[in-house]
Amino acid sequence: MKIIKINILKSTYPIFIGTGLLKKGVYTPYIFGKQIMIVTNKILSSLYLNCLKKTLHLYNVKVMILPDGEKYKNITSVNNIWDLLIKYGFNRKSTVISLGGGVIGDISGFTASCYQRGISIIHIPTTLLSQVDSSIGGKTGVNHEQVKNMIGSFFQPKAVIIDADLINTLNNREISAGVAEIIKYSLICDYKFFKKLEKNITKLLNLNKQFLLFSILKSCLIKSKFVIKDEKENNIRALLNLGHTFGHSIEQYKGYGNWLHGEAISVGIMIATKLSIYLGKLKEKNLYRISNLLSNSNLPVYIPLDMKSKNFIKLIKLDKKNLYEKIRLILLNNIGNAHIKNNINENLLCNLIDFLPKKNKVILNR
């Protein structure tokens, strides 16, 4: 087991990375109070809920089971959890445990951040994507019908438990979605990691335990460094959003849940890569390597056929990362070196998007 310590101004917490951690109950020292609300979904409750509850027999445990899917990441789901917390008289000395992927983690975190102005939360992420990305750093929130992740807060957990055994039940599509975020980390700041991924991508997709744990640890270390330096994304933490401005637009336009987050981010990374080349920041020879690694990870690399530049621009203008109403993007100088580009020319961006090749849709049934 590996432990990463997050030390920021008002919060210090561990990230545990290993196997068998759910059964070992390594999270119990970080539970605050005697009341626990477990938030999970129907699928995960049948797989892991009993195992979790066995380690919590000394506590007063209640469970909220939400429907599965990005389309349920909304204020209605949050309100349903608040209703249950109030019904059972949960007070400030209570703990929420999120048992699920990014949707469950984001909903649970936002719920905990607001209930009685903040109660403790522990994240137990169950997807590869949530283990390497969304469970770390304190971003919480829900989608608005007009834009993704517009309603939320920064709220750090008491602990994050990354049990690699929990992703053994994922399908290939979900694994690839998580790999997209891992590739992103290598692109923004670690060329050696990118080369390792090129060489070992089949091992990662097959969940080879040694390379899987290495990739999770590496990704968490990279994200932790950015979070520690810039908790609330005022500056360099924005680099972690490579591909996300375009990716969120795809998710929103195609309807929440029709594209997995990692699938949309993969296409977003390709758009950012091509824009970086067009602006003379990235050498064209890198395009093939990036595209090849994403494709070999069974990820899409083409813009959806029915999305035009006007569809992107409408949604991009609502993006939280924009500054003074100017489009702000994360672009590449090289593989392993990213930068923040402010005030992107809208006409230039439209011309590039309309010029790029498009395909009908991502294959959804792998």
Active-site annotation holder among 123, 196, 218, 223? 223
Q: Is 174 annotated as a binding residue?
A: no
Active-site annotation holder among 123, 139, 158, 274? 139
Q: Is 133 annotated as a binding residue?
A: no
Q: Is 10 annotated as a binding residue?
A: no
Q: Is 251 annotated as a binding residue?
A: no
> Alpha-carbon torsion 113, 240, 260, 171, what sign?
negative
Beta-strand relationship, 94-100 and 35-41: parallel
Active-site annotation holder among 117, 145, 360, 365? 117
Task: Decide if 50 is catalytic.
Answer: no
Q: Is 123 annotated as a binding residue?
A: no
Q: How crowded is residue 92: how many other Cβ atoms within 10 Å of its Cβ?
A: 12
Residues 6 or more apart in contact with residue 182 via CB below 8 angstroms: 128, 132, 197, 204, 215, 218, 219
Active-site annotation holder among 41, 143, 149, 241? 241
Measured between its terminal Cα atoms, the distance across the chain in Å is 32
Task: Decide if 223 is catalytic.
Answer: yes
Active-site annotation holder among 237, 254, 274, 328? 237
Q: Is 265 annotated as a binding residue?
A: no
Amino acid at 35: Q
Q: Is 181 annotated as a binding residue?
A: yes
Task: Decide if 237 is catalytic.
Answer: yes
DSSP 47-113: IIIHHHHHTTTTSEEEEEEEPPSGGG-SHHHHHHHHHHHHHTT--SSEEEEEEESHHHHHHHHHHHH
Residues 6 or more apart in contact with residue 306 via CB below 8 angstroms: none
Task: Decide if 289 is catalytic.
Answer: no
Task: Decide if 57 is catalytic.
Answer: no
Task: Decide if 218 is catalytic.
Answer: no
Q: Is 104 annotated as a binding residue?
A: yes
Q: Is 102 annotated as a binding residue?
A: yes
Q: How crowded is residue 241: how many other Cβ atoms within 10 Å of its Cβ?
A: 24
Q: Is 148 annotated as a binding residue?
A: yes
Task: Decide if 144 is catalytic.
Answer: no
Task: Decide if 241 is catalytic.
Answer: yes
Q: Is 48 annotated as a binding residue?
A: no
Active-site annotation holder among 174, 231, 233, 251? 233
Q: Is 40 annotated as a binding residue?
A: no
Here the tokens at position 289 are 């390597």
Active-site annotation holder among 123, 184, 248, 254? 248
Active-site annotation holder among 158, 184, 218, 244? 244
Amino acid at 95: T
Task: Decide if 251 is catalytic.
Answer: no
Active-site annotation holder among 41, 123, 174, 181? 181
Q: Is 71 annotated as a binding residue?
A: yes
Active-site annotation holder among 158, 254, 261, 274? 261
Q: Is 12 annotated as a binding residue?
A: no
Backbone torsions φ then ψ of 105, nearest 5 degrees: -65, -45
Beta-strand relationship, 147-154 and 159-163: unpaired
Which sequence positions are flagged as catalytic? 117, 139, 181, 223, 233, 237, 241, 244, 248, 261
Residue ranges at the known binding site for Zn(2+): 181, 244, 261
Which residues are part of a known binding site?
68-73, 102-106, 126-127, 139, 148, 181, 244, 261
Binding-site annotation: residue ranges for NAD(+): 68-73, 102-106, 126-127, 139, 148
